[in-house]
Amino acid sequence: MDTFMEYYFEGVFSNMDRDCLNERYKRRELVEYFNTVIAGCARGQNHSDNTSCKNFVMSALRYHNNCKKENGDVCRMGKYHNLLYVAMKLAFDWSLQDNEVMAALLDEIYSCEKTFERIFLGAIFGTSAPYFLAGWKSDFMDKEENVHALVFYLDHATNANLEYKENGKSYRFIDVPLESCGHASPVRVVIQMGASEMLMILLRFGARITFDSASTNPLESILDRLNEYNRKYPYELVSCLKLAMRAVPRISLSVNKELFKELELPDDYNYQRKLMLEKYGDILADRLVPSSRCGLKPVELKHLSRCAIRQMLWRNFELPFGIQKLPIPLTLQRYLDLCDD
């Protein structure tokens, strides 16, 4: 396999046009070609399919790295970079189980792009939308295969404890911002879309629902959108709200205290309560948000315990499959895994 790949890259691939893999159908043709090569090498060398696929991915990584070194450690993009996505598709097709190799492939993609949007956008929007957002088409057949591929990569990234640093911040694979979506995290994009099924997948794997002074609060944005429907709430938005509330101790609203300055309220005044009652009174009255999850009443101890346990599992890269290792009843495992509330 190694000898064949060396000959292919030096004698065939190097003579192909730089833009030869820009079109999706061209990448798919190359994937089909190497699917045949991997199957043939596995039979001919009496190796497992997994070993042959691993050898191909490692060869592709070596070729990409050598081309980078020859170019001053800068990716040449074009076919040289698209080769990594051919490797990604083959790894998924053959269910490659080598965490070290998959981690190296993900690291190489991040070093060139500083994002994983070509893995996430197809699963979030489907196969066509990424072309209008970022100018490329997904390498997977349909949205369902995109979602399965995303779970495959999430599993490998979690098992390999992958983290990436950007502008002084550290991100897990699942939280790396999407460049074509205003540098928002995948979970923020999914919440904005109201895609509850995709949100469930991301939350189970430990996606962070966070906000700062430069961005809106994802949960608050759901509440604002629900307010616009005059109490005729869309099912998907309500589902997203309920799922998100399972993953955080309680809803924290972004309060601008300057707006209440004229009231001369005491320093320990419960601004959260006032804002929640005034701004989202209808949502509270319709019981979409329990009073214990928005600061009106103390949070349930059971829910706080779930958040604390999930936080510990997240720190140790054990979400979601580490839940099954805990010596607790199945009902509690489902509760920790956000399946029940």
Instruction: Please write the tens of the pLDDT for every residue from 291-317.
Output: 999 888 999 999 999 999 999 999 999
183 lies in the same domain as 318: yes
* Contacts by residues 225-228 (CB-CB < 8 Å, ≥ 24 positions apart): 225/194, 226/283, 226/288, 227/279, 227/280, 227/282, 227/283
Which H or E run contains 163? strand 163-166
pLDDT one-digit tens code per residue, 51-94: 889 999 999 999 999 999 999 999 999 999 999 999 999 999 99
**Residues facing 328 on adjacent strands:** none
Tell whether 260 is covered by a domain: yes
159 lies in the same domain as 271: no
Tell whether 341 is covered by a domain: no
What residues make up the domain containing 238? 214-299
224 lies in the same domain as 111: no
**pLDDT of 199 strictly over 60:** yes
Tell whether 17 is covered by a domain: yes
176 lies in the same domain as 218: no
**pLDDT of 212 strictly over 60:** no
**Residues facing 163 on adjacent strands:** 172
167 lies in the same domain as 240: no
283 lies in the same domain as 314: no
Tell whether 14 is covered by a domain: yes
**pLDDT of 267 strictly over 90:** no
| Buried-exposed string 91-101: b where 16+ CB fall within 10 A, e elsewhere | bbbbebebbeb
326 lies in the same domain as 192: yes
Q: Please state, rounded to an integer, the average pLDDT across all residues of the chain.
A: 89
Q: Which residue has the tokens 């006032």?
A: 274
Q: What is the pLDDT of residue 266?
A: 61
29 lies in the same domain as 140: yes
Q: What is the pLDDT of residue 214?
A: 44
Q: What span, in angstroms and rounded, lies between the C-alpha atoms of 218 and 283?
A: 16
Q: Helix, strand or coil for residue 169?
A: strand
Report whether the peptide linkage leading into residue 320 is cis, meaning its omega lies within 30 degrees of zero. Answer: yes
Sign, CA dihedral 141-142-143-145, equals negative
**Residues facing 172 on adjacent strands:** 163
253 lies in the same domain as 163: no
pLDDT band for position 7 (50/70/90)?
Answer: confident
199 lies in the same domain as 314: yes
Q: How many domains does the chain have?
A: 2
16 lies in the same domain as 146: yes
Q: What is the pLDDT of residue 153?
A: 97
